[in-house]
Amino acid sequence: MSKTIVITGVGKRLGYELSKALLKDGYQIVGTYRTEYPSLADLKELGAELYPVDFYQQTQVDDFISQLSNKYNVIRAIVHNASDWSADDSAHHNAAEIMQRMMTVHASVPYQMNLALQDKLRASGHADVIHISDYVAEKGSKKHIAYAASKAAMNNMTLSFASLLAPEIKVNTISPALLKFNPHDGEAYKEKAMAKALLPREAGFDEVIEGVKMLLDSRFMTGRNLQFDGGRHLR
C-alpha cells in the first residue's frame, strides 16, 4: 500500500503538527505552503517533500497538480487543510473578492485536486480524502459569512465525492470548533470563546490528528463529518 499522503497548508498549526505526526508514523508527506515559516525546515529534516503553492494563483495550482500526477503513481490520501479566514469587512479586499478567495481555497482547489488525482488514489486500493472544515459551517457567522459559506460548500463536496469515488476511496470531513488559541489572543477573548461550548477548553491539535488516523484506518466510514466542537451545538 502506498504511504504517500498529500497535505495542504503545512506551514503552521494543525497542518504542521499533523505532518509531523504522520511522518513519525512512517508516511511520506507531500505538503504545500504559501508562506515561508521556520517550521518548514523541521518537516524537511523529517523527510517531507514541500511545495510552495499560492492557491490564489491558478497557474501554481495547475503546476502542483501536474507535478503530483507525473511523480506519483499511487497516493494514499489527500488532507485538504489549507485555509484562509478573511472577515467580511476586510480592509484589503471588497466583498466579491473575499467570497471568491474563500471559495477558491476551501472549495475550488480541493474540487480540482480530488478530480485530477482520483486515479492515483484509486490505485492505492484503500484511499482517503479528508476535508478539514469548521464547526461554523453548521452555525453560520455574522462576521465571516463568506468563510462559513465556503466551508459549507466543502462539507457538501464531501457528500458528492463520497458517492463519486466509492468504493475505493473514502471521503470524510473533520469539523473542529476551537483547536488552539493564538499567542496574541487576549484572556477576555479566550473566556468568551470557551464559554460557547459544554466542554470549555481547547481541543488541541491531537484531537484532529487522532481523527485523521482513525479515518485512515477505517474501512467502513465515508460521507461523514466528524465534529470536534466541545458540544457547542447544545449551548
So which residues are the catalytic ones? 147
Q: Please, are residues 168 and 122 in contact by the beta-carbon 8 Å criterion?
A: yes
Q: Please, are residues 88 and 98 in contact by the beta-carbon 8 Å criterion?
A: yes
Secondary structure class of 172 (helix, strand, coil): strand
* Residue position matching grid coordinates 466543502: 154
The closest of 61, 57, 81, 58 to 69, measured between CA atoms, is 61
User: Which is it for strands 28-33 and 169-176: parallel, antiparallel or unpaired?
Assistant: unpaired
Q: Chain-centre distance of CA 128, in angstroms?
A: 13
3-state helix, strand, coil in the chain (%, to 5): 45, 15, 40
* Residue position matching grid coordinates 470524510: 172
Q: Which three cell numbers stand for residue 98?
A: 473575499
**How many CA atoms does the CB half-sphere of 55 hold within 13 Å?**
25
